[in-house]
């Protein structure tokens, strides 16, 4: 049975003290919640402050450089994160792809390096507005899957969580319907089945990375192929994050 996961991506938000307050608040409220894995991805500067406070709430990093060490000014390596005790990592987020021009080839390199070091990766995929408008979303997402994951074996895929981001519906004024979310999740799972077989497809958690919030989480999580959410803005509030986690 595949895992139900609610993950919070805090992005470039919160001071160190605010991060501690939010982390500890969520962790207190999360104690009665069962059957759902809870993960948060704070900013780099807060990771070392939170790692010793983690318990039911798992810590992850929003980004990493695939090289072990070297002259890469401003980057944080996978080995440094591992040394800190971080074992979860977001790779291929739409903001990294679009704002920082991370290519499919670079995402592939990150995936390989992270899995080699034993990370659990949250692999993001999704199409922008022009692709959705041209009805090419399937081809676009499939190419991301092929370049980022198709070189892996079944054992490695057990360390992969997929997050679908409808980039066209984030900050554009467009809204993804429940039906559109489920349709793409079903498409992704079918592609996993075609390439890896039914066991991998059935065991891989696929999260919704759109505008998931307390008002739509229950309906989203009721979809057969939606196994949770990668939450943005709503993850910055303790009560809304907990309400989403309670929506299964």
The residues carrying an active-site annotation are 93, 165
Rounded Cα distance between 19 and 13, Å, is 9
Q: Which of 197, 233, 183, 240 is nearest to 215 (CA)?
A: 240
Contact partners, residue 162, CB within 8 Å, separation at least 6: 122, 123, 124, 125, 149, 188, 204, 205, 206, 207
Distance of CA 182 to the CA centre of its chain: 17
Tokens of 174: 């467009």
3-state secondary structure of 107: helix
Tokens of 187: 């498409």
């Amino acid at each position: 049975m595949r895992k139900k996961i609610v993950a919070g991506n805090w992005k470039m938000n919160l001071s160190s003290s605010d991060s501690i307050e939010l982390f500890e608040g969520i962790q207190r409220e999360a104690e009665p919640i069962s059957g759902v894995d809870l993960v948060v991805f704070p900013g780099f500067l807060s990771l070392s402050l939170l790692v010793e406070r983690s318990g039911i709430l798992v810590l992850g990093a929003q980004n990493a450089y695939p090289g072990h060490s070297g002259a890469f000014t401003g980057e944080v390596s996978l080995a440094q994160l591992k040394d800190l005790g971080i074992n979860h990592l977001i790779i291929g987020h739409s903001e990294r792809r679009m704002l920082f021009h991370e290519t499919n080839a670079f995402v592939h390199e990150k995936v390989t390096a992270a899995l080699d070091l034993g990370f659990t990766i949250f692999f993001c995929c999704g199409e922008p507005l022009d692709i959705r408008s041209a009805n090419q979303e399937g081809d676009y997402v499939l190419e991301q899957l092929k370049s980022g994951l198709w070189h892996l074996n079944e054992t490695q895929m057990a360390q992969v969580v997929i997050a679908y981001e409808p980039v066209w519906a984030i900050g554009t004024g467009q809204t993804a319907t429940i039906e559109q979310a489920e349709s793409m999740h079903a498409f992704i799972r079918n592609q996993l089945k075609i390439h890896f077989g039914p066991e991998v497809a059935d065991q891989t958690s696929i999260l919704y990375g759109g505008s998931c919030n307390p008002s739509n989480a229950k309906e989203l999580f009721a979809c057969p192929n939606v196994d949770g959410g990668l939450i943005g803005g709503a993850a910055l509030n303790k009560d809304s994050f907990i309400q989403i986690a309670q929506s299964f």
